Amino acid sequence: MSNVSTATPDSAGAIVSDPVKSQGYWRGVGKRVMRDKVTLVCGAILLVMLFLILFAPWIAPYDPLQGSMARRLKPVGWQGYLLGTDELGRDMLTRLMYGGRFSWFVGITPVVCAFTIGGTLGVLAGFVGGKINMLIMRATDVFYAFPSVLLAVAISGALGPGIFNAILSMTLVFIPPLIRVSESVTTSVRNLDYVESARATGANSFTIVRVHVLPNVLGPIFVYATTLVGVSMILASGLSFLGLGVKPPTPEWGMMLNTLRTAIYSQPLLATLPGICIFVTSLCFNLLSDGLRNAMDVRN
Amino acid sequence: MLQLPTMPDRGGPAQPLLIVQNLVKHFPLKGGLFGQGGKVQAVDGIDFEIRKGETLGIVGESGCGKSTASRLIMSLIEPTDGEIIFDGEKVGTAALPLKEYRRQVQMVFQDSYASLNPRLSIEESIAFGPMVHGLGRSRAIPRAHDLLTAVGLAPAQFAHRYPHELSGGQRQRVNIARALALRPRMLILDEPVSALDKSVEAQVLNMLLDLKAQFELTYLFISHDLNVVQHVADRVLVMYLGRVAEIGPVDSIFAAPQHPYTQALLASRPSMDPDRRRTEPPITGDPPNPVNPPSGCRFRTRCSLAEDICASATPPLGTTGPMHQAACHIVAPGSGHSMASREAA
Ligand SMILES: Nc1ncnc2c1ncn2[C@@H]1O[C@H](COP(=O)(O)OP(=O)(O)OP(=O)(O)O)[C@@H](O)[C@H]1O
Ligand code: SF4
Ligand SMILES: [Mg+2]
């Protein structure tokens, strides 16, 4: 292999010092991510955002709920209001920072829940196969009959508005695609020779799943889940926009987009700021997951 | 190696190590809504024995059921019918539970890359089996290092590497070490060298022969390469479309093949000797579909000697010489084939 040529001067003590540097799988992945500029930039943007929204109570310049009729809809950069003010005279920067907390929370929580539930069911279906696979996959197909936005709106509408119900409905929407992806990844791994040879040693199913299946399927499933974070944020904003998510005056990006829409002609930049936040976040999540997918491919 | 010793010989030297009786595997075809889709007759009633310490080679074209047979013997798939008897005990009974059987028979797969978990280092892959059987990690890892040495890979250099950091030949050595880790009595080698370069192939084959002597193993060696089989096997089983065509000692199979399929296989082999270049035409056409195999003798669609009797009756596996059997009407006296001797046996 390529490394063999790197002869070490201390080859006399080769018993202790490994002359051929071997790298673990995840170290290789880390190295490839470090070489990928786009992924690094996206990761950095997301980290900065995370910092801003996490520490909003300490670093935000104003109170997110305190408005003033005297300074409604002021443009970006107006007198100490870096991003202007909204239709009730509240500081936009502050509200975007606070709003991000809800948007991120409502965007990520359903994906994490669906990853856990859908991933478990999918790996189970893929590994066990047979009747259990049939049962889980046919049930999944039923959910596929409806478009995801419609399904989320319908479930949310039936449960009533509120942040918990929004998370619940979106979790339900994301479970079927996660089952599908985990099932297909697991099925392909299950039929590989190394799983067969592990069975040939007499290992039980639990050990085989833990040692041979999970380490090889979790990565791809996780990457797929990150692509859903972007979708989830947009969906969460959509629910808020329709009045099915958080209630005013709580700031949330989708909600802010809704309340600012009347200002789209007078202050177009201001009115699109929450939309830009949603767009940038979901784009970064998608590019990040693309980068991870590439980095996790051993053939690169 | 005090822990996990080799299992004792139970039946004595006369008892065949493995007896396969009427092994059948039909895969149902997917697609039919009501399950009327037919079935792939991958293995359709094979019988044979493997004696202690010998190497039985299995040859046959791609798709004739060699891998299916080895997976059946390894109990990785459920047989449709048939029995496997190991050292006198039926596999899966109280006398020989599956887990104990699996310690005694191990397998090396054709694809050296797909048969190693990419997330485990070489030493972890080899130590996995012994750890499953209760050996602690502190004992299993040194044992993995011993086995690496036995297959010619320096532990200091290879133990911590990952499969994608090895060459094909090195990976196959690791697979062999992994198969040996449970101290089995028998190895099933499913085309272990067919993905390797010729020079590496020879090295690995010779190493397999050394290991066989060192660990007192019995081999079931699957290959489609007649030269390889001639080099390693004591006896040869020729498979055609899920059935046994011919079985016998390697010398008599290669010197005096009885079944027209074996004759054609040997004739189609490129000869080193220009005087012995083939005169008979090699086998032509593709093998028939195992979903819908020909009636009677399965080889009849490609056999230049086929007659009516070949379509109407399945030729039994009949004795043609010392330890040599073939399934063809020509060698069955009184079968009705014009080339068969008249009187019934
Ligand atoms: N899981 C399966 N489901 C359905 N059909 C199968 C399955 N496994 C094998 N078969 C079919 O059974 C037949 C025998 O396959 P098998 O892999 O045993 O052949 P082989 O002799 O090992 O061939 P090769 O030399 O190419 O490895 C083939 O027709 C194959 O398509
Ligand atoms: S039984 Fe008939 S078809 Fe089959 S090999 Fe013999 S001669 Fe050929
Ligand atoms: Mg095969």
Whichever domain contains A212, its CATH number is 1.10.3720.10
Contact A200 B74 (CB under 8 A): yes
Contacts of A200 in chain B (CB under 8 A): 74, 76, 102, 106-107
Which ipTM was obtained for this model? 0.84
Count of domains for chain B: 1
Tell me which residue range forms the domain holding B314. 18-31+38-119+162-331
CA distances from residue B41 to B21, B63, B286 in whole angstroms, order as listed: 17, 11, 17
**Residue B202 domain-assigned?**
yes
DSSP B23-58: EEEEEEPS--TTS-S-EEEEEEEEEEEE-TT-EEEE
The model's pLDDT over A164-203, given as tens digits with 9 standing for 90+, comes to 888 999 999 999 999 999 999 999 999 899 999 999 998 9
**Average pLDDT over every residue of B20-45:** 81
The model's pLDDT over A120-147, given as tens digits with 9 standing for 90+, comes to 999 999 999 888 999 999 988 888 888 8
To test the ligand 1 pocket, which listed residue (B30, B40, B41) has its Cβ within 8 A of the most ligand atoms?
Answer: B40
The model's pLDDT over A280-293, given as tens digits with 9 standing for 90+, comes to 998 898 888 888 88
Q: Is B133 part of the contact surface with chain A (CB cutoff 8 Å)?
A: yes
Q: Is A211 part of the contact surface with chain B (CB cutoff 8 Å)?
A: yes
**Residue A198 domain-assigned?**
yes
**Residue A256 domain-assigned?**
yes
Contact A201 B182 (CB under 8 A): yes
Tell me which residue range forms the domain holding A31. 6-296
Handedness of CA B156, B159, B160, B161 (dihedral sign): positive
Q: Is A134 part of the contact surface with chain B (CB cutoff 8 Å)?
A: no
**Residue B340 domain-assigned?**
no
Pocket residues: Cβ below 6 A from ligand 2? B 259-260, 297, 299-300, 303, 305-306, 310, 315, 328-330
As given in the structure block, the two tokens for residue A98 are 């606070």
The model's pLDDT over A221-256, given as tens digits with 9 standing for 90+, comes to 988 998 888 788 888 888 887 888 777 778 888 888
Nearest to B115 among A3, A194, A203 (CB): A194
d(CA A86, CA B231): 85
**Residue A1 domain-assigned?**
no
Count of domains for chain A: 1
CATH number at residue B225: 3.40.50.300
**Residue B191 domain-assigned?**
yes
Mean pLDDT of chain A: 81
Contacts of A198 (CB under 8 A, 6+ apart): A207, A208, A211, A212, B117, B128
Q: Is B165 part of the contact surface with chain A (CB cutoff 8 Å)?
A: yes
The model's pLDDT over B179-189, given as tens digits with 9 standing for 90+, comes to 999 999 999 99
